[in-house]
Amino acid sequence: MRRLLALLLLPLLLWGCGGGRSDGEVDVAIIGDPADLAADGLRLGPVGQHLRAARAQGLVRLDEAGQVVPAIAERWIVTDDGTSYIFRIREFDLPGGERLDARAVRDSLRTTIAGLRGTSMGLDFGKLRDVRAMAGRVVEIRLKSPMPELLHLLAQPEMGLSIGGAAIGPMIATREDISVNLAAMSPQARGLPRQPGWEEAVRAVRLSAVSAPAAVQGFADGRYDVVLGGTLTDFPLAEAGPLARGTIRLNSTIGLFGLDIRRGEGFLADPANREALSMALDRAALIQPFNIAGWNAATSIVPDDISQTDGTGDEGWAAQTIERRRQRAREVVGAWARTNGEVVLRIVLPEGPGADILLRGLASQWGEIGVRLVRITGDGVRSGAQGAVDLVLRDRVARFGGSLWFLNQFNCTVTRGICSEDVDFLVDLANNASDPAESASYMAEAEAALDALEPFIPIGAPIRWSMVRADVEGFSENPWALHPLFPLSRAPI
């Protein structure tokens, strides 16, 4: 009887591991709002970013491993001083029969960069001097000072070219009810040599945007081959799924995961008090309930391995024992409470089981130093309670691995929390300094000034997870948690 039962169950197990569909499509679910499948413009969430990356490539793009690879530009050179990037674009015929030329590419880039003003990504282009069309197929991007991370910035989905209504690819999108069907464009339609027989290997991709519970359940039921966009907030759902073993893929990301100080009033008015909250956290213990191996904690805004400082400005308490740190924090809280009363902080976190676990950890640890944490439920950030919000979770993956990205997140023109115009001024000086050593010096000063301001309580690297069936090709973990859909089609490059 047991043998018979095993034979009956074997096809079900194989179906669960290998994918439940046989229609030749890769079904992808991104955790998010279905309305984001129709999102347009340049302010895109994860759903819109993945879709735009599939529909509109830029000069360069990111492959599945997060590496910069050619897109519209077939090759490029960087001048010795690092201030000029010269791209040669492919011979690309637009659907109307016109040839894509340097002027059209230049105009699209200029329009996009202008449209990014008022965003943190717009600030990331602070070193840009000009975009020029040179010969018919040559575009030059000139900088005020060297920016080694420029290619990664140009590879972002928002930088996909928009040339009228022409399809730039690498995929063509067709809306179907609550999903989007994506088909890879042929090599010759993408400015590449004809590759006989490429159609035989290509698979279509069907993209849906669903809630985290629906994504996990759909994966278990065989409706989805890939789930993208998971965060710490919903990670327990994936971990408890029936097919979790071997299918959960974690990205080793860089970015910001921690708490914004939303208002500098009361106890939070003093940077020393804000520092006390940070030093009292045992970050590894906060994440321990999630059983995530290799996660990196953080005690500073800019990661040490990309910081422009020499480390002398780092928190002296970071090397102390947690007992010593909490004793110091307890003294700071006690001194304030004796004059002003109990320290009560109101926090906004997303809804989800992971956020509930995080909240319990924060409340427990800060309770040991005399701080009481109160959660504002619902959309507290945009509700009438906004003025009373003290702390808000910031969970964002970096666009590129440079300190400029981290500093720009706290620029006074884009942040809703505590900021410093002096820090912004130093970053601006760094952007405009032609000498690399001078630029690095200004950036180091800006980092130190921002750390001293204590506008943010770092916890560690953002957590991003996916679920992927064993037979799916074209997926890889990467530091940017952006998983392009084009490689999933198995189309030749």
Residues 73 and 97: their CA atoms lie apart, in Å, by: 19
Q: Give the range with max mean pLDDT: 380-384, 385-389, 450-454.
A: 450-454
Percent of all residues in the chain with a pLDDT value above 90, rounded to a whole number:
75
pLDDT digits (tens, 9 = 90+) for 52-61: 999 999 999 9
Identify the domain boundary among 125, 140, 162.
Answer: 162
Q: What is the mean pLDDT of residues 461-470?
A: 95
pLDDT digits (tens, 9 = 90+) for 99-122: 889 999 999 999 999 999 999 999
pLDDT of residue 342: 96
The lowest-confidence range among 191-205, 271-285, 443-457, 459-473 is 191-205
Non-local CB neighbours of 346 within 8 Å, separated by 6+ positions: 374, 375, 376, 380, 385, 388, 389, 390, 391
Claim to verify: residue 236 and residue 260 sit in the same structural domain: no
Claim to verify: residue 359 and residue 259 sit in the same structural domain: yes
In a domain, 238, yes or no: yes
pLDDT digits (tens, 9 = 90+) for 240-275: 665 555 689 999 899 999 999 998 999 999 999 999
pLDDT of residue 241: 60
Claim to verify: residue 364 and residue 274 sit in the same structural domain: yes
HSE-CB of 213 using CA atoms within 13 angstroms: 3
Q: What is the mean pLDDT of residues 370-384?
A: 69
In a domain, 93, yes or no: yes
Which comes out higher in pLDDT, residue 387 or 195? 195
Identify the domain boundary among 131, 162, 193.
Answer: 162
User: Which two three-digit tokens encode residue 244?
Assistant: 């979790």
CB 28 within 8 A of CB 225: yes
- Structural domain boundaries, residue 149: 67-162
311: confidence class by pLDDT, cuts 50, 70, 90: low
pLDDT of residue 382: 40
Whether the pLDDT of residue 167 is over 80: the answer is: no
pLDDT digits (tens, 9 = 90+) for 396-448: 999 999 999 999 999 999 999 999 999 999 999 999 998 999 999 999 999 99
The domain that holds 423 is classified in CATH as: 3.10.105.10
Q: What is the pTM of this model?
A: 0.90
Non-local CB neighbours of 380 within 8 Å, separated by 6+ positions: 346, 348, 386, 389
Q: What is the mean pLDDT of residues 198-221?
A: 92
Q: What is the mean pLDDT of residues 468-482?
A: 94
The domain tally of the chain equals 3
Percent of all residues in the chain with a pLDDT value above 70, rounded to a whole number:
90
Identify the domain boundary among 135, 162, 189.
Answer: 162
Claim to verify: residue 316 and residue 247 sit in the same structural domain: no
Claim to verify: residue 417 and residue 283 sit in the same structural domain: yes
Q: What is the mean pLDDT of residues 216-222?
A: 93
HSE-CB of 381 using CA atoms within 13 angstroms: 13
The domain that holds 221 is classified in CATH as: 3.40.190.10
pLDDT of residue 196: 82
Claim to verify: residue 449 and residue 476 sit in the same structural domain: no
In a domain, 408, yes or no: yes
Claim to verify: residue 362 and residue 383 sit in the same structural domain: yes
Strands 463-468 and 226-231 come out as antiparallel
In a domain, 152, yes or no: yes
User: Which two three-digit tokens encode residue 401?
Assistant: 């691995």
In a domain, 12, yes or no: no
Residues 233 and 210: their CA atoms lie apart, in Å, by: 15
Which comes out higher in pLDDT, residue 313 or 174? 174
In a domain, 2, yes or no: no
Claim to verify: residue 243 and residue 316 sit in the same structural domain: no
Whether the pLDDT of residue 50 is over 70: the answer is: yes
* 23: helix, strand or coil: coil
Which comes out higher in pLDDT, residue 96 or 28? 28
388: confidence class by pLDDT, cuts 50, 70, 90: confident
Cα–Cα distances in angstroms (integers) from residue 352 to residues 82, 236, 284, 357, in the given order? 45, 9, 20, 9
The lowest-confidence range among 111-120, 239-248, 342-351, 378-387 is 378-387
In a domain, 8, yes or no: no
pLDDT of residue 460: 97
Claim to verify: residue 287 and residue 432 sit in the same structural domain: yes
Claim to verify: residue 272 and residue 324 sit in the same structural domain: yes
Non-local CB neighbours of 36 within 8 Å, separated by 6+ positions: 44, 45, 47, 48, 209
Claim to verify: residue 97 and residue 228 sit in the same structural domain: no
Across the strands, what pairs with 210? Answer: 31
Claim to verify: residue 218 and residue 150 sit in the same structural domain: no
pLDDT of residue 387: 52
Residues 403 and 398: their CA atoms lie apart, in Å, by: 10
Q: Which of 23, 337, 39, 31 is nearest to 203 (CA)?
A: 23
188: confidence class by pLDDT, cuts 50, 70, 90: confident
In a domain, 330, yes or no: yes
Whether the pLDDT of residue 463 is over 70: the answer is: yes
The domain that holds 125 is classified in CATH as: 3.90.76.10
